[in-house]
Amino acid sequence: MTSDVRVSRRLILQAGAATTALGAPGLLLAQPKPLKIGLINPISGGLAYSGAQCRAGALLAIDDINAAGGIRALGGAKLEAALADSQSRPEVGVSEVERLNQEGVSAYIGCMSSGIALPATQAAAKYNTPFIIDVGVSDAIVGRGLKNVFRLAPGNGKCVDDAFEGLNQVNKAAGGIAKTAVLVHEDSEFGTGTAKLLQGKLASIGIEVKETLKHATPTRDFTNLVLRIKAIKPDIVIMSNYQNEYVLIARTMHQQKVDVAGMFSVLGGGFNYKLVQEQPEVAQYMMDFNHWYNPRNPKAQEMRKRVEAKNTLFTFEVYCAYNSVKLFADAVQRAASSDKEKVIAALETSTWSDHFMPYGATKFVNGQNQGGRAVLLQASKTDIDVVWPNEFAAVKPIFPRPGHV
C-alpha cells in the first residue's frame, strides 16, 4: 500500500468520525443539567382546589422561564418540575420533602398552608435546600431562624396591620358604623394566628369583639355557627379560613339572611373569582384583605388573560406560586450557580422586581420580604376590585351594605 493510499484512508476515517460527531451534537456540546424544583402542594384532601391552583401557577412560570432560554448563567439550563401531593396533611408534606430530596431537587416551592409549611420547611432545612413559600402566612414560618426559607408575599402580621389601617379608613368614611365584630376562623396555625392578632388590635380602632368562633377544616355544616352569629347581631363579621369553609359560611349567612353592615375577611381562602362566578349573590359586597395583583400593571392584566385562556381562574394562589418560581430562577441566575449555599445567598440579597404585585421594594430580612403588602378587595356580582389603598384602587368601597338596618 502506497503512502498516498494510507493518507487518503486516514482522511476518510477522520472525516467519517467528524460527521458522526456532528450528527450527534450531544457528543460535542453537553446539554446543561436541568434544575429540579420540588412543587409541594395539597392536590388532594380539603385544600385540593387551592393546591391545584398553586401548581398551575408554578408550572406556568417554569414553562415561561424555559421558553425564554432557561437559566442563561448556567448555559441555558432548564427548570424541571418534580411534583408532590401533600394530601392536605402536614406529615405527608414532610415525607414528600424527603422523597424529593432523594430525587435531587435544587429547591422547594410550597405549601399552600401554614400547617404544612412549618414542618416541611423544617425538614428541608436539614439539607439546606432553598424553600420558597408560595402561600402560607404564619409568621412562625420565617421566625425560626431557618436560613433556607423565603417568602415574597406578606405574612399574617403584616396583612393584619394592613387590614386594620384599611378597615379603619373604610369605617371612618362610613361614620364609624362598625362598633362590634364576630371573628370566625379555622383552627389550624393560619386561622388561629390571624384571629389572635385581630383580637389584640380591633379595640384600638373602636371595634369590640363580641365573640370568636373557631371551626375545624374540613367542616360540612355551619348552620349552628351562623345562627350563633345571627343571635349576637354584630355590625361586622371577619373571617379567616380556607376555600371550602369560607364559601360555605358565606353561603349559609346569605341563606339565613344574617343582616350585618359588612362581611370582611383577612386572607380569605375562598374570596376569589370562583366565588363571584358561581355564587354572585353571595359574593356581592363582601370584602377581603389579601394577596392580589396590581390591577394597574399591564403585565398583570396580560397574565390574567393567559391564565383564563387555559380555563384556569386567576386566583392569588396562581400568581403567588408563579412569582415564587421566578424569584428562585432570578437567584440562580445572579448566583451563576446551582450550589445551594450560593443560591440562598442570592435570595438573601435579592431586590427582584419583575413581578406584578402591589409591593414596595424587595428586601429580605430573616427570609421575609419587607416590601410585601395586602390590599382591600370588594366583590361585585361580576368582578373583584381593589378598593384600598388608593394608589391601587379601581373603585370606592361600598360600606355599609345597601339595605342594612
Predicted local confidence at residue 17, as pLDDT: 45
Residue 96's pLDDT is: 98
Q: What's the pLDDT score for residue 85?
A: 98
Rounded to an integer, what distance in angstroms lies between the CA atom of residue 54 and that of residue 319? 8
Domains 35-154+297-373 and 157-290+376-388 share a fold: yes
Alpha-carbon Rg for the chain, nearest whole angstrom, is 25
pLDDT at 5: 42
Q: List the chain residues with pLDDT less than 70.
A: 1-29
The pLDDT value recorded for residue 405 is 83
Give the start-to-end residue ranges of the domains of the chain. 35-154+297-373, 157-290+376-388
pLDDT, one tens digit per residue, over 278-327 is: 999 999 999 999 999 999 999 999 999 999 999 999 999 999 999 999 99
* Per-residue pLDDT, 25: 46
pLDDT at 29: 59
Q: Which residues contact 343 (CB under 8 A, 6 or more apart)?
A: 106, 107, 130, 328, 331, 332, 335, 337
pLDDT given for residue 6 in this prediction: 45
157-290+376-388 is classed CATH 3.40.50.2300: yes
Range list of β-strands (E), 254-395: 262-266, 287-290, 364-365, 368-369, 375-379, 384-388
User: What would the pLDDT profile of 58-107 be if each residue is shown by its tens digit?
Assistant: 999 999 999 999 999 999 999 999 999 999 999 999 999 999 999 999 99
d(CA 237, CA 288): 11
Predicted confidence (pLDDT) per residue in 212-226, tens digit? 999 999 999 999 999
Distance in angstroms (rounded) separating the CA atoms of residues 53 and 344 = 26
Q: Which option is the CATH number for 35-154+297-373: 3.40.430.10, 3.20.20.80, 3.40.50.970, 3.40.50.2300? A: 3.40.50.2300
- According to the model, what pLDDT value does residue 190 have? 95
Q: Rounded to two decimals, what is the model's pTM? A: 0.90
Q: Is 99 helix (H, G, I), strand (E, B) or coil?
A: helix
